[in-house]
Amino acid sequence: MANTYSIGIDIGGTNTDMGLVRDDGKIIDRNNIPTNVYTELKPYIHDIMECIGKLMKDNGVDKIEGIGIGAPNGNFYTGCVDNAPNLTIKGVLNFEEEMHKYMDVPVVLSNDANAAAFGEMVYGGAKGMQHFIMFTLGTGVGSGIVVDGRLVHGSTGGAGELGHNILIPNGRQCSCGRKGCLETYTSARGIVQTYCELKGVPVTSDINSKMIGDLANQGDPIALKTWEVVADQLGLAMANSVTFSAPEAIFLMGGPTKVGEPLLKPLQKAFEKYLLNIYEGSCKIRMSELKANEVAILGAAALIKMKK
């Protein structure tokens, strides 16, 4: 049988990455353009479509199944990106309509965390799973929830924002305007803040979560304590999320999860400690099986496998 192909697009504030993805999850070729030089949608889409055309031509592909897009505030229902704060193109942007002027293939959007979760199901460690949750730890904390093999979008398209569950009322200031969200504690920045608080030093830009991970793996007691605190907070959030959809697994991805033992060991303990007894042993903690530099493209490409 001939291979089929799709296009995955990862829209970031700085760069727009595109990849030609074969059905077995191999990224055949990729390309990118800057995002932040555009202030209008039309020329931006024009240049994206030109890149897609080139990717196809260079690789002898004359037909694609569709275009999947992971974007901040990407709306699955409308095909639009709704007022993304980190984009230089402002307003509600109808990607689907604009792309259809160039190519008559399905165009599917979702936010990047949802795309990552769906990518795990189509191409990664969640293959064949019907129920799982993905937490992505990075600049923020994203999540995607899969129930009955379908990504949960909710009534507005905005489902799966577990990073903005309030963990500590009146806690740390969150970018969403409220206080105490999970992401203010377990994002890369939140982890740095916890470390600095434990160490009694001001937060500076030369301390990052990777460094705190390295220190912990060398046995530094404050770094180890930091990961224990983070594990307790994340473990609580994960255990609470299990009551919502009884997943078979919770997947973790993102830079801070790469620290290994210093996070994962106390995380398993905290998760079990907080888990409601009826779920005991039913939900595993797993690491994403997708490569960090491929997940955004693969997740986006996977979106077109989802039926509207």
Judged by the rule CB under 5 A, the positions of this chain that interact with Zn ion are: 164, 174, 176, 181
**Closer of 79 and 254 to Zn ion (Cβ):** 254
Question: Strands 27-34, 80-82: parallel, antiparallel or unpaired by DSSP?
Answer: unpaired
Task: Give the Cα separation of 191 and 180 in Å (integer).
Answer: 14
Query: Is 153 or 164 the residue whose CB approaches Zn ion more closely?
Result: 164
Give whole-number Cα distances, 218 to 123, 222, 224, in Å: 34, 11, 9
How far apart are the C-alpha atoms of 256 and 240, rounded to whole Å?
Answer: 21
Shortest spacing between CB 151 and Zn ion, in angstroms: 21
Bridge partners of residue 10, in order along the sequence: 17, 70
Residue 165 CB, nearest approach to Zn ion (Å): 9
Q: Specify whether the CB–CB gap between 17 and 28 falls below 8 A.
A: no
Overall residue count recorded for the chain in this entry: 308
The owner of tokens 């105490």 is 180
Of 181 and 223, the one with the shorter C-beta distance to Zn ion is 181
Residue 146 CB, shortest distance to Zn ion, in Å, is 23
Nearer to Zn ion, 37 or 176 (CB): 176
Query: Minimum distance between the CB of residue 4 and Zn ion, rounded to whole angstroms?
Result: 39
Q: What DSSP state is assigned to residue 14?
A: S
Q: Kindly tell me which of 37 and 168 has the beta carbon lying closer to Zn ion.
A: 168
Cα–chain center distance at 66: 21
CB of 176 or CB of 201, closer to Zn ion:
176
SS3 160: coil
Q: How far is the CB of 19 from Zn ion (least distance, A)?
A: 30
CA–CA separation, 190 vs 255, rounded Å? Answer: 13
Question: Which of 120/183 has CB closer to Zn ion?
Answer: 183
In whole angstroms, what is the distance from residue 96 CA to residue 94 CA? 6
Residue 173 beta carbon to Zn ion: minimum distance, rounded to whole angstroms: 9
* CA geometry: angle 192, 125, 274, nearest 5 deg: 55
Residue 107 has φ and ψ, to the nearest 5°, of -120, 120
Please, what is the minimum distance in Å from the beta carbon of residue 180 to Zn ion?
Answer: 8
Residues 38, 14: Cα–Cα separation, whole Å: 10
Amino acid type, 296 = A
